[in-house]
Amino acid sequence: MNSQQEFVLRTVEEREIRFVRLWFTDVLGYLKSVAVAPAELETAFADGIGFDGSAIEGFSRVSEADTIARPDPSTFQVLPFDRDESSPKQARMFCDITMPDGQPSWADPRQVLRRQMTAAADDGFVCNIHPEIEFFLVKSLDTDGQPPVPTDNGGYFDQAVHDDAPNFRRDAIEALEYMGISVEFSHHETAPGQQEIDLRYADALTMSDNIMSFRYLIKQVALLNNVRATFMPKPFTDHAGSGMHTHMSLFEGDTNAFHDPDDPYNLSRTARSFIAGIIEHAPEISAVTNQWVNSYKRIVFGSEAPTSATWGLSNRSALIRVPNYRPGNVESRRVEVRNLDSGSNPYLAYSVLLAAGLKGIREGYELGEPAEDDISSLTRRERRALGYKDLPTSLDQALRLMEQSELVAETLGEHVFEFFLRNKWREWHEYQAQITQWELRTNLDY
């Protein structure tokens, strides 16, 4: 037993924790959990917890059902929702999923990302991630297919609004900080009921764990405030959707590999090729970064959502924005990827983004001139004339590009790649089969 495992056992005993929840995600990014009693933790560390992998979306076939969840003691945190001394205290740990012989499961999104982090490390890099996570607070999720009702009518950066959950962001930040998830900023976003909370940077795997914890905590805090939270990319026709703008940087030891003081934009050759890699491969990875039918309603009809694979200096209509708040600050030089939405599986989304950027570095991709136009206001013909490559406008189009992508297949691995495509094609075909209210209003009297 190593020192981290001993620390977990000691903490569980000292803090009288009654249940430890072991977390992992399926291929689509849904959180899975199994609770174990403290007396079972030593066995869980030694042997893992066996479960039926064929019952989890995308994990294994019936003939390969025996799967092991192995808790990662470095992710141990006590959960913050004990309202009184009589409540049983709970903690959580993320798990790595393995086969019975100890080999990493080909279906575990955490392992997919770990492979890319290893590839980055082989090239001398550590990837840091800092997401801006948007979501909506609504009065209820039980709407029978009708639009939800937002909890307020606030707008961007509103200080105070008369809403149904006036203490929500304070409670949410306290819960996140309690679990060691550092928050940089929080504010009301542009749409009624829309919130944004930005997490302080961490390595890609830690941040993906933090995002999964974030979603869980936000939903729990909303419940405690008698409202509900949704990470659906675009629940309202007339309002902007919820993105997860992600700031990325590569470090070589303590040195920011993206900074060059002699470049006009303070961007190193490494940063330029990284950006070029994401721009080149953005259309084929779009099904992973924007995985739902609804995701493309945000991209096509959203506010400040990128429609083309472009980059720009402080240009919020571009796919990749280079923030310029502190241009001479070496540590802060980073790129902001703006197509991700809050409904993505962070492990897989960051895997394909990192893979695309690293490919650009390895193969020396050249970066063109930055876009200065408001790209969302340009017509398709104007975008083409300027040499901009359009992003997919539907899940159907995104899946067709993904099917042809060697990059995505190699990054996700054959198992996740094939399951993801099968699942998403099913989603698209179910969506196509629907007769919408718009069709009935428009065509019924023909």
- Residue 330 three-state SS: coil
- Tell which of 43, 74, 100 closes a domain: 100
Query: Does the pTM of the predicted model rise above 0.75?
Result: yes
267, 333 contact by CB (below 8 A): yes
Determine, yes or no, domain membership for 109: no
> What stretches of 15-146 show up as alpha helix (H) in DSSP?
41-47, 109-122
Residue 168 shares a structural domain with residue 84: no
pLDDT for position 376: 73
Q: Which residues of 144-180 are buried (b: 16+ CB within 10 A; e: fewer)?
A: eeeebebbbebeeeeeeeebbbeebbebbbebbeebe
Supply φ then ψ for residue 277, to 5 degrees.
Answer: -65, -45
Strands 66-71 and 49-52: antiparallel
Determine, yes or no, domain membership for 415: yes
Q: Where are the beta strands (DSSP E) in 211-337?
A: 228-230, 244-252, 255-256, 308-309, 311-313, 320-322, 335-337
For the chain, counts of helices (H) and of strands (E) = 13, 18
110, 94 contact by CB (below 8 A): yes
Residue 174 shares a structural domain with residue 253: yes
Residue 93 shares a structural domain with residue 38: yes
Residue 82 shares a structural domain with residue 171: no
Q: Using CA atoms, how far apart are residues 90 and 261, in angstroms rounded to an integer?
A: 49
Residue 91 shares a structural domain with residue 160: no
Per-residue pLDDT of the chain (446 residues; tens, 9 = 90+): 799 999 999 999 999 999 999 999 999 999 999 999 999 999 999 999 887 766 666 565 544 457 889 999 999 999 997 655 556 789 999 999 998 888 888 889 999 999 999 999 999 999 999 999 999 999 999 998 889 999 988 777 666 565 677 889 999 999 999 999 999 999 888 899 999 999 999 999 999 999 999 999 999 999 999 999 999 999 999 999 999 999 999 999 999 999 999 998 899 999 999 999 999 999 999 999 999 999 999 988 766 788 899 999 877 888 999 987 666 677 778 999 999 999 999 999 999 999 999 999 999 999 998 887 777 777 778 878 787 889 999 999 999 999 999 999 999 999 999 999 999 999 999 999 999 999 999 999 99
For helices 204-224 and 109-122, angle between their N-to-C axes, nearest 10 degrees: 140
- Tell which of 100, 134, 160 closes a domain: 100
Residue 238 shares a structural domain with residue 141: yes
Determine, yes or no, domain membership for 49: yes
Please return the burial class of 63, using the count of CB atoms within 10 Å of its CB with bins 0-12, 13-18 and 19+. Answer: exposed
Residue 72 shares a structural domain with residue 206: no
Question: In which element (H, E) is residue 99 found?
Answer: none
pLDDT for position 82: 60
Determine, yes or no, domain membership for 69: yes
Residue 77 shares a structural domain with residue 127: no
Q: Using CA atoms, how far apart are residues 287 and 420, in angstroms rounded to an integer?
A: 9
Determine, yes or no, domain membership for 193: yes
Question: In which element (H, E) is residue 14 found?
Answer: helix 3-14
**Which residue bears the tokens 């992992």?**
24
Question: In which element (H, E) is residue 277 found?
Answer: helix 269-289
Residue 87 shares a structural domain with residue 166: no
Closest-CA residue to 76 (of 94, 61, 56, 57): 94
Residue 14 shares a structural domain with residue 150: no
Determine, yes or no, domain membership for 446: no
Split into its structural domains, the chain has a count of 2
- Tell which of 69, 100, 131 closes a domain: 100
Please return the burial class of 142, using the count of CB atoms within 10 Å of its CB with bins 0-12, 13-18 and 19+. Answer: exposed
Question: Structural domain of residue 262, as residue ranges?
Answer: 115-441
The CA distances from residue 1 to 7, 41, 45, 114, in Å, are 10, 11, 8, 23
Question: In which element (H, E) is residue 300 found?
Answer: helix 295-301
Determine, yes or no, domain membership for 31: yes
Residue 131 shares a structural domain with residue 223: yes
- What are the residues whose beta carbons fall under 8 Å from the beta carbon of 34, sequence distance 6 or more? 21, 22, 49, 51, 69
Residue 434 shares a structural domain with residue 294: yes
Q: Where are the beta strands (DSSP E) in 217-361?
A: 228-230, 244-252, 255-256, 308-309, 311-313, 320-322, 335-337
